Structure 1
């Protein structure tokens, strides 16, 4: 694996990079497209908001559950086989969404998409790090970070336009031909540049991981309706995950090399990236719901509110990558976190009288701050790792990030619905996001005391 980048041609490297980034962008945009659509689907399918939010929370949750498997798949099978299998699965999930006639079928379609999306993200990061020389690792991870941040950021905006002009089913109709095109191009052009390794998949670890993650994360959506059941699920899930970690430490070929967390830079900067993702998804979940349900605006308008922020995020991410390579993460992440806190003021004070322009402008600044944190945090997390550890590191990083996103998505929606006033509930949810940003900054300052 260490010699892959030495043997791969520049043209092949470009083809792989373009196909992977396009596939990841579509997958990640699809992840958040449902945010703007939730109020409409809630009414169309005659379900509660808590049930409807499973279309987004369940998607993110399953990504977190399935991602740990990605390291074993990358090592055991040819990279071409894995890529085509992932894209085929996503196409099947999207096709099911096109045909869905009830909420359960629609939810199943989203979960099949998530199954592919979780594997794709780790596969993309591991592959790109493998095919580029080490001195370009920061730039490549920065490019990956741009897609990881911009895809979810632009999703609600694209959804707003689609919902207003075409209807919610086109969230699947339009994605299907794009992913089919990537599948066809991948079949024609995606090369095999890595031979499979003779590793043994520990299926008991797979089962324990899936069971523990499902119980722990699934409990979050049950708390509001049945505290006893939710608490039992959470405790049971955490105990099972503890047993999973213990088992990984004993295996010669673990499903996940959790010992990577002993690397201080990976541990702390992964947490920083997690909390930045919490701030991103938590805010994106609430703004469309609040503006449509309380302000009474259309899906398109709620999408337009998020559009400038998505564009600012992409532009900032493109600039941040080279700045990180030259100056490191210190001033970027500190400045970004402070900007996120200042730009949160309209969110924690939001009301019917809040100007759309004020919300749009401050949200845009918040997204700039998020880009200043997210990409440098991801690059910094991987800088001290050996190349042979990358597949496990990307699986761990993506698992924790997506899990935290699922938690954020669920918590903000549930919290917003607890008070009698949805405005008060939304403010409460946004204060939780602010606390996450404060914690993120505190962890990074702790990291700076001994960076490497």
Structure 2
């Protein structure tokens, strides 16, 4: 027997400690996502593996999260808030221990898969809990705190890991996370309360299989496409076909694992499309800009991390403020100017040359993430606010899953555009093997990729003109009564 706890009606719920418990766990997990990137060269030497092989530490992470997120709505119906969060953090801690003690690359990859199993559950649990314990008029500020974590942790990751690698071995990237994960578990065990209802929905095995093949096939195919050959396209086609069948099945069965009726709510549908486009533009910058700094500006990984750090810190500190402004002003006054700023900055990125200064890149990246702070959480909250409570788990699962897939699509798309543009430049060059020509070709390819990214940002700007403040159906009925 379970009891649904409503934050609005139960004064025993202490929102502050619950929110802090969620944020600590999310910070630890998200920090770890970018922690390992700067250590890839060390891992290649330690385990004597190629760059193609070592990249699976990141690809496998995305693969597991892409598979898990669609079924989180089902899991939240079977397990309480505490069980979901503590289970997710327990898996993350176990994976971290395996990574730190790995005697071989295979064990390290296994540890990353276990870590991702925990991380894939954390974000939906955190967003669901916020939706349950905060009324719509206060969700913006709470979601702003989540935005702080989502942007601050990845921004801090490369710089902090670069500092650790400079003095210790790569294993300390995991050793230092272990006590943080343990603290998160203990803090949540004491403060986190159950706020959702356990409904024990039917476990729909065919849908789970189609979802796993669909989302997993897409992410795996994108990761494999960098290696060439037919395997990448084959997996992507299989994933696309499975997703079509998955969507069809969700529409015809009585208890879908992802309730697509969420798209009947226009602001949720519009917000989800905007987030997909924005995530693609964000990933274009996250992939191309570090490459530009290291290959063109000749900065070290640690120096490149320092260049990106101010933008991440500014974004993190602005996210709670933007959340409070959202509660007062609604989405349009934040999202539209934010997307205008993002579009201008990405256009300036498309004009980068081989002789830009670090200060110029710092200013542009900081401006981009200021715009991002004005967009991400206001758009997410606008869409989710329109859903009834029974659809919260499905709405958060859909948003998180599609953003994850959008990130994978964006990565493959913009790297492909950059490579194609570089080859096109070299094909017109009279000395294609000359170092200066190869450098110019790389810059030309990046400029083309950023130009396409700007067009996607402009498309999201046009869609944002139709955003408006939303109220969930039950709140609307209460106001009318």
Q: Which residue of structure 2 lines up, in the alignment, with residue 110 of structure 1? A: 112
Larger RCO of the pair (alpha carbons < 8 Å, separation 6+): 1
Q: Which residue of structure 2 lines up, in the alignment, with residue 235 of structure 1? A: 237
Q: What is the CA-CA distance between 1:373 and the residue it aligns to?
A: 1.0
Q: What is the CA-CA distance between 1:125 and the residue it aligns to?
A: 0.6
Structure 2 residues without counterparts, runs of 5 or longer: 424-437, 472-481
3-state SS in 1 of match to 2:7: helix
Q: Which residue of structure 2 lines up, in the alignment, with residue 190 of structure 1? A: 192
Q: Which residue of structure 2 lines up, in the alignment, with residue 202 of structure 1? A: 204
Could you tell me whether the CA contact under 8 Å between 2:5 and 2:196 is conserved in 1?
no
The 1:270/1:227 distance shift into structure 2, 3 A limit, reads same
Say whether 1:427 aligns with 2:447: yes
Q: Which residue of structure 2 lines up, in the alignment, with residue 379 of structure 1? A: 381
Q: What is the alpha-carbon distance in structure 2 between the residues aligned to residue 165 and residue 281 of structure 1?
A: 30
Q: What is the CA-CA distance between 1:133 and the residue it aligns to?
A: 2.9
Deviates more, 1:39-48 or 1:355-364: 39-48
The 1:429/1:42 distance shift into structure 2, 3 A limit, reads farther
3-state SS in 2 of match to 1:343: helix
Q: What is the alpha-carbon distance in structure 1 between the residues aligned to residue 180 and residue 302 of structure 2?
A: 22
Q: What is the alpha-carbon distance in structure 2 between the residues aligned to residue 292 and residue 48 of structure 1?
A: 19
Q: What is the alpha-carbon distance in structure 2 between the residues aligned to residue 450 and residue 380 of structure 1?
A: 6
Q: Which residue of structure 1 lines up, in the alignment, with residue 89 of structure 2? A: 87
Q: What is the CA-CA distance between 1:374 and the residue it aligns to?
A: 0.8
Runs of 4+ in 1 over 6 A off after TM superposition: 449-452
Q: Which residue of structure 1 lines up, in the alignment, with residue 463 of structure 2? A: 443
Could you tell me whether the CA contact under 8 Å between 2:62 and 2:219 is conserved in 1?
no
Q: What is the alpha-carbon distance in structure 1 between the residues aligned to residue 408 and residue 177 of structure 2?
A: 22
Q: What is the CA-CA distance between 1:68 and the residue it aligns to?
A: 1.2
Q: Which residue of structure 2 lines up, in the alignment, with residue 25 of structure 1? A: 27
Aligned residues: 451
Q: What is the CA-CA distance between 1:305 and the residue it aligns to?
A: 0.4
The 1:329/1:78 distance shift into structure 2, 3 A limit, reads closer
Could you tell me whether the CA contact under 8 Å between 1:275 and 1:437 is conserved in 2?
yes
3-state SS in 2 of match to 1:4: coil
3-state SS in 2 of match to 1:63: helix
Q: What is the CA-CA distance between 1:401 and the residue it aligns to?
A: 0.9
The 1:45/1:367 distance shift into structure 2, 3 A limit, reads farther
The 1:224/1:260 distance shift into structure 2, 3 A limit, reads same
Alignment of 1:314-393 (within 5 A): 314-393=316-395
Could you tell me whether the CA contact under 8 Å between 2:332 and 2:468 is conserved in 1?
no
Q: What is the alpha-carbon distance in structure 2 between the residues aligned to residue 436 and residue 51 of structure 1?
A: 31
The 1:164/1:276 distance shift into structure 2, 3 A limit, reads farther
Q: What is the CA-CA distance between 1:40 and the residue it aligns to?
A: 4.6
Q: Which residue of structure 2 lines up, in the alignment, with residue 159 of structure 1? A: 161
Q: What are the superposed Cα offsets for residues 16-59 of structure 1, whole Å, 9 maximum, x if unpaired? A: 21111111122122222334444554555554444443333432
Could you tell me whether the CA contact under 8 Å between 1:57 and 1:409 is conserved in 2?
no
Could you tell me whether the CA contact under 8 Å between 1:86 and 1:116 is conserved in 2?
yes
Please say which structure displays the higher CA radius of gyration.
2
